Structure 1
């Protein structure tokens, strides 16, 4: 009974979050994000019972049809909504709370080959906008929002808004946090290296020119 109640909640949250949803039939038949969540619910049951191969097969079939890849080991709470969904990736040790919404192109991934907890934890009522990447065993606090295209590598406090690459908290508890977010002036490490090399070449040329002038003066004195 609890399982079917959860499935109904997964449908109801779509009507709460998506103004384009018109009917239960439309939502159940056409929303790929919903299909991905339901497939994960089933795969996770097999995963917890240690039927890992069956769980993975279910998740890969779901990935093929929905474009959403959720590892069967991920823990997902109630009323989870994936809007549009294509390109979403959710790693094995992710933990997602209740009333969480994510959009297309979001990655909740790891940062390497480390063992154990290596994927993010999203607390209740978190929103992750299109194309954002949340990487590593970090925690996104309750009621927080991750801006589109952001790359988040550090913990985010509760009630925060994060934007940028790397992600910076720009609002917390309803108050703006002053930061220099000139996205058109992001550092370019390759360009910085080239500029450093150019400076060294100029210094070497100047030193060489001084040596030549000194030698020329010595020759003239002779």
Structure 2
């Protein structure tokens, strides 16, 4: 587990939580204590420039590269008036460098095993094991689950 990943898990600690948040800020990482994170989070390149909205749930074994943003599409609207409810990142998702997930309204879900390409801007939910890229992001392929890849090899 990387140092940044370890710090992210310790950000909720009553004793050192505030100090951990400040150390993460030195790395350019903002992950509020309200963010729910499953086990096995991998953060590469120290997560430099990564920002996560407090109304986010991150599943197990998610990979996040540097410069990823998970947030609202309407930051000028007060949080109470925003149509955004939550961003859900399911298990095994890979968010490549510079990817942006921007929720306009309701719950935006990135399906299990989905890959969001570098610098993609996603504004809609995805299905499982899909590959998305571009601005705005669009589905460009389908990922073969490891269980099927091993069976065909």
- After TM superposition, the score normalised by the length of structure 1 is 0.55
Shift of 1:120: 1.7
Unaligned runs of 5+ in 1: 1-10, 12-33, 175-222
**Correspondences of 1:1-222 after superposition (within 5 Å):** 11=1, 34-46=2-14, 55=17, 57-58=18-19, 60-84=21-45, 85-112=47-74, 113-115=78-80, 118-136=85-103, 137-172=107-142, 174=144
Q: Is the 8 A contact 1:107 1:131 kept in 2?
A: yes
Q: Which has the higher helix share?
A: 1
CA RMSD of aligned residues (A): 2.2
Bigger Rg, which one: 1
Shift of 1:41: 2.1
Q: Is the 8 A contact 2:131 2:143 kept in 1?
A: no
Q: Is the 8 A contact 2:31 2:52 kept in 1?
A: yes
Q: Is the 8 A contact 2:111 2:126 kept in 1?
A: yes
SS of equivalent residue, structure 2 residue 12: helix
Q: Which residue of 1 aligns with 2:149?
A: none
Q: Which has the higher strand share?
A: 2
Q: Which residue of 2 aligns with 1:18?
A: none
Unaligned runs of 5+ in 2: 145-153
Given the superposition, is the C-alpha separation of residues 86 and 173 from structure 1 closer, same or farther in structure 2, using an over 3 Å criterion?
closer
Given the superposition, is the C-alpha separation of residues 168 and 76 from structure 1 closer, same or farther in structure 2, using an over 3 Å criterion?
same
Structure 1: 4+ residue segments shifted above 6 A: none
Q: Determine the C-alpha separation between the residues in 1 that align with 2:34 and 2:73.
A: 18
Higher RCO (Cα < 8 Å, 6 or more apart): 2
